Amino acid sequence: MATATEVEKKQGEVISAERMKAGRVYSPRVDIVENADELLLIADVPGARADSVDINFEQGELTISARVPQRQAENVPHLLREYGIGDFYRVFRIGDGVDNGKITAEVTGGVLKVHLPKAESAKPRKIAVKAG
């Protein structure tokens, strides 16, 4: 069971994006860092621009999707092709310890950063001890 500030990957479910066009959908690699004030989710979304990234939070689920345009026509022959082109999609379960009204995000150089501020009730606090 996750604590209030943890982010959980959905386990045992097949995740598929609703698609209007054919193409591949990749699950972006993610790091999640916790500090005193927030959780920071860092995702690799190479080729995605800020206007092509959608982040939604609904009923405790954070959904990340990013559309990536093709680099060139598919019918062009390649000498070597290691880099797949496709959209990105991933879903996370968010605990109650995140203030969902203050979630922010930015994308720079193909790296998406989602800031998940902790709710005041989830932040650690120091308790003063009085001499008796």
Render pLDDT for 38-96 as a digit per residue (tens, 0 to 9): 999 999 999 899 999 999 999 889 999 999 887 666 677 778 877 777 899 999 998 88
Which CATH architecture describes the domain 23-71+83-118? Answer: Sandwich (2.60)
Task: Tell me the two tokens of residue 126.
Answer: 């120091």
pTM summary value: 0.73
Residue with tokens 């008796």: 132
Contact 88, 7 (CB under 8 A): no
Q: Per-residue b/e over 86-95, b at no fewer than 16 CB within 10 Å?
A: ebbbbbbebb
Each residue's pLDDT tens digit, 99-113: 989 999 999 999 999
Indicate the domain borders of the chain: 23-71+83-118
